[in-house]
């Protein structure tokens, strides 16, 4: 299937956040789009917020297996993930720019062709300076 023009997809997103021993689960059923530019795959959707405008999110899957999660809006963030790697990035808030680090414990991506479907699973730790903020589990499944 030609993904260069963009293909609408249904997305099931599950996130588990463990901060200071408190676990929170988030589930979203979303409509999005998958597009392939060169060898890079982009999954785009809008994350609904409890208050305010939906936030545009792009998940970028690079040919080398690295994944980026890019959030626009008031809190601009670009999280980078590579299996068993520690990667630095920044987080822009109305209060300024913060340096954060991800350590990816587990990373899986799968893609099927007919029909287009796939999944992304990322388990990671998030750090601010050297302090661990929390442990995160992200699962995203999509189908055209």
Per-residue pLDDT, 110: 95
CATH number at residue 31: 2.40.128.20
Residue 1 lies in a domain: no
The predicted structure's pLDDT at residue 130:
84
Residue 2 domain flag: no
63 located within any domain: yes
User: d(Cα 121, Cα 68) in Å, to the nearest integer?
Assistant: 12
Quote the pLDDT of residue 1: 57
Q: Is the pTM of this model over 0.85?
A: yes
Q: Check the CA dihedral 53-109-78-89 and report its sign.
A: positive
Residue 71 near residue 54, CB atoms below 8 Å: no
Q: CB neighbours (10 Å) of residue 70?
A: 16
Mean pLDDT for each consecutive 10-residue tract of the chain (144 residues)? 83 95 94 94 88 89 95 86 95 85 97 91 94 96 95
Rounded distance between C-alpha atoms, residue 19 and residue 95, angstroms: 22
């Amino acid at each position: 299937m030609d993904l260069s023009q963009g293909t609408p997809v249904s997305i099931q997103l599950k996130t588990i956040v463990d901060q200071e021993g408190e676990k929170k689960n988030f589930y979203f059923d979303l409509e999005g789009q998958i597009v392939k530019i060169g060898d890079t795959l982009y999954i785009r959707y809008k994350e609904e917020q409890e208050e305010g405008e939906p936030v545009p999110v792009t998940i970028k899957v690079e040919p080398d297996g690295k994944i980026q999660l890019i959030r626009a809006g008031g809190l601009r963030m670009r999280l980078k993930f590579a299996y068993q790697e520690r990667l630095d990035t920044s987080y822009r808030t109305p209060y300024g720019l913060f340096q954060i680090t991800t350590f990816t414990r587990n990373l899986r991506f799968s893609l099927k062709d007919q029909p287009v479907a796939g999944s992304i699973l990322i388990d990671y730790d998030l750090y601010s300076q050297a302090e661990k903020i929390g442990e995160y589990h992200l699962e995203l499944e999509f189908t055209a």
